[in-house]
Amino acid sequence: MAGGHRLLLENAQQVVMVCARGERFLARDALHSLAVLEGASLVVGTDGFIKAIGRADAIQTLFSEETFEERIDCSGKCILPGLVDAHTHPVWAGERVHEFAMKLAGATYMEIHQAGGGINFTVEHTRQASEEELFCSFQQRLQCMMRAGTTLVECKSGYGLNLETELKMLRVIERARRQGPIGISATYCGAHSVPKGKTATEAADEIINNHLPKLKELGSRGEIHVDNIDVFCEKGVFDLNSTRRILQSGKDLGLQINFHGDELHPMKAAELGAELGAQAISHLEEVSDEGIAAMATARSSAVLLPTTAYMLRLKQPRARKMLDEGVIVALGSDFNPNAYCLSMPMVMHLACVNMRMSMPEALAAATINAAYALGKSHTHGSLEVGKQGDLIIINSSRWEHLIYQFGGHHELIEYVIAKGKVIYKK
């Protein structure tokens, strides 16, 4: 049995630390250039945490007497943090490729939703699906995300709406979380849509009086671990008042507030989130100037979802304005049956081209700031001593190729590593 350390990554052309001074997020000027070491090596210990990063010759001298379970020659290659996907809906049954065709022919998201399609269609199929079937398709999706470089992902429930199916989804998420290898932040999204035959107020009452107490009970028995609470705050879905009641009740249980706001209509969701101390608010295509200012002050991160605006041909969220005002900007794939994208490199590319973010801004948004959106930036999102050894190795001498080569991540990503263990090798 080899002792010493778990992994030595030797002599990389670039080690992209992203940040190097324990920052919990990057905003404003800190995004102009990221912390990058040239000609560097990195050591992960047997506990899965990073022990050393530095110039290759210095690491070689320091660790010359030590042993490693695995060593990888990274000459000519780049090491980056594992990507963090801050917003996904990955547990569901029922493909919606037919709706893609309808949208291409001109139907809007809300037209399909109100005609009983969209989320409602997925809810019907997910209620009928067995737990095993949901788990299998979820695992395959996680595999695809992982091969595209994701090592930490936020996963929502929300295609059950009733307690029984919401719990089925959360059990599926819990099983994957325990099994690994990629990290999961679990979100209860029972307020994803108003179930048929109920008003938003009635649905909110049901969630507050029945769903949340059950989650608390299962949490205290250690059966299901939920990190975040989510609501789809939107005209014709959950109004501001119902959203407030649900989010506050979730917060009272100790959940982090992380919700959908200001997507299709201006709702003052950003203002509400900032007031409630939301860790993250997603979408924000229709956010107001006041909402942006409030989020910057409250340090509520903005999780921008370039695939949604692209897919639905919506106006883009005002990423530049948010960045200029000091909002903590993160990215997510929003993987769901409406926006079928599992790849954070493609998400970063879209963020750069369509939302006018720079490549350093996009990478920070998909690493340290996405980790912040999940309340995990003390352990994830950058390559620093003491952080979890989650990283990717790309076959290129400059890290920007991961964003530049649109759809090229399958060729570029040679290794994906979680807690210092190789979980994917091309």
Residues that bind ligand NIG (CB under 6 A): 89, 118-119, 122, 232, 260, 263, 308, 334, 336-339
Which partner from the list Fe ion, ligand NIG, none does 25 bind, CB cut-off 5 to 8 Å by kind?
none
CB of 243 to ligand NIG, least distance (A): 13
Residue among 183 and 337 whose Cβ is closer to ligand NIG: 337
Site for Fe ion in 350-409 (CB under 5 A): none
CB contact at 8 A, 365 and 357:
yes
122 binds, among Fe ion, ligand NIG, none (CB under 5 to 8 A by kind): ligand NIG
* Choices 7-15, 63-71, 136-144, 329-337 (CB under 5 A): range interacting with Fe ion: 329-337
How many CA atoms, within 13 angstroms, populate the side-chain half-sphere of residue 82? 34
CB of 89 to Fe ion, least distance (A): 6
Nearer to Fe ion, 85 or 334 (CB): 334
Nearest-CA neighbor of 138 among 102, 96, 93? 93
At closest approach, how far in Å is the CB of 308 from ligand NIG?
5
Nearer to ligand NIG, 89 or 376 (CB): 89
Please choose, out of 111-119, 264-272, 323-331, 333-341, the segment that lies near Fe ion by the rule CB under 5 A. 333-341
- Please, which residues bridge with residue 8 across strands? 43, 71
**CA nearest neighbour of 145 among 84, 204, 81:** 84
Separation between Cα atoms, residue 29 and residue 23, nearest integer Å: 13
In the complex, the smallest distance separating the C-beta of residue 307 from ligand NIG, rounded to whole angstroms, is 8
Q: What are phi and psi of 81, to 5 degrees?
A: -65, 150
Q: Between 112 and 418, name the residue whose CB sits nearer to ligand NIG.
A: 112
User: With b meaning 16 or more CB within 10 Å and e meaning fewer, what string describes 190-216?
Assistant: bbbbbeeeeebeebbebbbeebbeebe
Upper half-sphere CA count for residue 296 (Cβ side, 13 Å)? 17
The 334-353 site mask, x for binding Fe ion (CB under 5 A), equals x-------------------
Q: How far is CA 116 from CA 93, 124, 194, 242, 371, in A?
A: 16, 10, 11, 22, 35
Taking CB atoms, the residue at the shortest distance from Fe ion is: 334
| In the complex, minimum distance from the CB of residue 232 to Fe ion, in angstroms, rounded to a whole number | 8
Nearer to Fe ion, 281 or 296 (CB): 281
- 318 touches, from ligand NIG, Fe ion, none (C-beta below 5 to 8 Å by class): none
Decide if 226 contacts 219 (C-beta within 8 A): yes
- Give the residue among 158, 211, 85 at the shortest CA–CA distance from 337: 158
**In terms of CB distance, is 96 or 419 closer to ligand NIG?**
96
Distance between CA atoms of residues 379 and 375, nearest Å: 9
Q: Which residues bind Fe ion (CB under 5 A)?
A: 334
